[in-house]
Structure 1
Amino acid sequence: MNSILQRLDRLSDLFLSPAARKVVEHSLVRVSLTLFLLHAAVYAVHELGWLPFQMPESLFGHPLHILYTPFSAILVAEVYLLVYHLPSSFARSMGKQLEIVSLIEIRSVFRDLSVLQETAGKDTVMPWNDPFFPHIVGAVLLGAALVGFYRILPRRKARMEEQELARFVRFKRHLASLLCLVLGVMALWGFGHWLTDLVSYAGGNRLEPIDPNSVFYSDFFTALIFVDVILLVTSLRYLSEYGLILRNSGFVIATIILRLSFALEGWSAVAHEVLAAVLALVLLLLQAGLMWGTRRLGPEGERE
């Protein structure tokens, strides 16, 4: 058993150390720039008609589609930071989930703006009727919710004995390191699936490649739900404060709602995302109110 724990400790140091975070961030910046230039080059060759095969219009039909690629690398960095913060703060991990979804909405704006550019001048359409409008509203509302979320987020305080705290943090680091492995496998699987569809399209199959959101992010959030539930159940052993238990339970529900939004489109998806953000914000307010009431009543809950 000790040998397994030691291996998990080494795995945690490999994936979740400050040095590892710096390497991942710098690497993803380089990958983002490389993919941006590669996408731009393929788009130029595609427009000049030099490719001996067809490429999907959803990726190479408009210059704005090029912006989709670097945003994908940025989103992978945000997903890694979510896992990185998971051992230190359940609440900060929830905030990272909202950040990821807001960036996905921003990325979707570029996709739908290209459609608008292609149809410009044909019909007079008000902005709120455009396909990109729900994504802009969703990104802005999620950003506004995050302002309140981080403003209300209380400073971390030890609520258990030092030995128990160290044991709980160690368990969370082990779980987060395993989630990093799952993240890597999902990323490779999703990219491979998407690349296979792209090659199939170029070979004559005219089905559009799958949406990366439907492969990677929905599966990752599904895995994250199970991790959150494990952390919630485990935390009951170390935490007895009702406000924290209520907050963490609600965060799991918010994660499930965010996961459901990936299967929806337009305003339905935005409504679910905003609902999850509002739920997380209200839960922080409830926790703050319960903490204030506990301090006012005293540790025994009795008035003098």
Structure 2
Amino acid sequence: ALGLFFLHLLLFGIHEAGWLPFPMPESLFGHPLHVLYTPFSAILVAEVYLLVYHLPSSFARSMGKQLEIVSLIEIRSVFKDLSVLQESDGSSLIWPWQDPFFPHIVGAVLLGASLVAFYRILPRRMARIEDHELARFIRFKRHVAALLGVALALIAIWSFGQWCLDILHHAQEGTGTLLDPNAIFYHDFFTVLIFVDVILLVTSLRYLSNYGLILRNSGFVVATIILRLSFGMEGWGAVAHEVLAALLALSLLLLQAGLQWGDRRFGPEDTGFSASE
């Protein structure tokens, strides 16, 4: 991330000095703070890797990583919108909510607050009795995560190639708008992630008899779909869908905790739930 930051900073300096023989997109070189866009992109790549890493071990922590990724995308979008920053000349009053980056700031703060509550409620992992069927399910999840990692690499290579071709076309023509990196990569990645979550959910029904876990994991799939839909939106529409997904995940975690409390309080024979996870 640090190396990419200095590389972008160097290219920005060369661009400002007019030493480049071709035009560069203003969305990347129109403002000094656009340089911060690059290291945030590298951090996001690391977060996506951690999402794939946590997928075999915990459905809930994978959901938390999805919310972390979206919140960081919102922060990164602030730097992208600085090129259209509205500056007041003193004769007119500009309110903060009139700036194009304001929805991204609100979205990042609300998602961050939701994550604080999410990880606060998320129960710590407890030692489980080894079971042959459960071990098979864990191995299956690891294989699925490995395939998701391969898909992630292929999507990243394809998206980066498309983005580079877009920049090359811009340099040759000197016109046009760059593709949104969120629409290029994360749109496709979350689409694949939805199918992976559904596969894991359906497979888990063979091994889980706890209603709270089944309800929670099913709701997490819905939350992932809502996050996926937010990438096709802008402004407050995207923020509303992201916050809805976060609140849904948080509510399902609370419901699971309540059902587990009832299981411990009355016993599985009274509630109809199995004590196994």
TM bracket (short chain): over 0.9
Q: 1:158 Cα shift? A: 6.0
- For 1:87, the equivalent position in structure 2 comes to 56
* Other structure's SS at 1:51 match: coil
Select 1:59's aligned residue among 28, 40, 43. 28
- For 1:121, the equivalent position in structure 2 comes to 89
Q: Which amino acid aligns with 1:105?
A: E
* Other structure's SS at 1:238 match: coil
Contact preservation (8 Å) 1:106, 1:136: yes
Distance between the aligned counterparts of 1:160 and 1:263, measured in 2? 44
Q: Does 1:284 align with 2:253?
A: yes
Q: 1:112 Cα shift? A: 1.9
Q: Does 1:271 align with 2:240?
A: yes
Residues 168 and 160 (structure 1), Cα distance of their counterparts in 2 relative to 1, 3 Å cut: farther
Select 2:231's aligned residue among 257, 262, 270. 262
Distance between the aligned counterparts of 2:68 and 2:246, measured in 1? 10
Q: 1:156 Cα shift? A: 2.5
- For 1:231, the equivalent position in structure 2 comes to 200
Task: Name the stretch that deviates more: 129-138 or 82-91.
Answer: 129-138
Distance between the aligned counterparts of 2:187 and 2:123, measured in 1? 29
Contact preservation (8 Å) 2:23, 2:174: no
- For 1:10, the equivalent position in structure 2 comes to none
Cα RMSD (Å) of the superposition? 1.6
TM-score, normalising length from structure 1? Answer: 0.86
Q: Deviations over 1:1-27 (max 9, x none)?
A: xxxxxxxxxxxxxxxxxxxxxxxxxxx
- For 1:17, the equivalent position in structure 2 comes to none
Distance between the aligned counterparts of 1:62 and 1:133, measured in 2? 18
Select 2:159's aligned residue among 185, 190, 195. 190
Q: 1:120 Cα shift? A: 4.3
Q: 1:256 Cα shift? A: 0.2
Percent identical among aligned pairs is: 74
Q: Does 1:172 align with 2:141?
A: yes
- For 2:172, the equivalent position in structure 1 comes to 203
- For 1:72, the equivalent position in structure 2 comes to 41
Select 2:110's aligned residue among 141, 147, 158. 141
Select 2:73's aligned residue among 94, 97, 104. 104
Residues 213 and 72 (structure 1), Cα distance of their counterparts in 2 relative to 1, 3 Å cut: same
Distance between the aligned counterparts of 1:60 and 1:189, measured in 2? 23
Q: Deviations over 1:154-203 (max 9, x none)?
A: 12246775212211110000000110000000011001000000011101
Distance between the aligned counterparts of 2:88 and 2:222, measured in 1? 41
Distance between the aligned counterparts of 2:33 and 2:24, measured in 1? 16
Distance between the aligned counterparts of 2:166 and 2:175, measured in 1? 10
Distance between the aligned counterparts of 1:112 and 1:212, measured in 2? 13
Contact preservation (8 Å) 1:197, 1:209: yes
Distance between the aligned counterparts of 2:47 and 2:138, measured in 1? 21
- For 1:132, the equivalent position in structure 2 comes to 101
Q: Does 1:35 align with 2:11?
A: no
Select 2:221's aligned residue among 252, 257, 266. 252
The total of aligned residue pairs comes to 271
Structure 1: gaps (5+ residues): 1-31
Structure 2: gaps (5+ residues): 272-277
Q: 1:208 Cα shift? A: 1.5
TM-score, normalising length from structure 2? Answer: 0.94
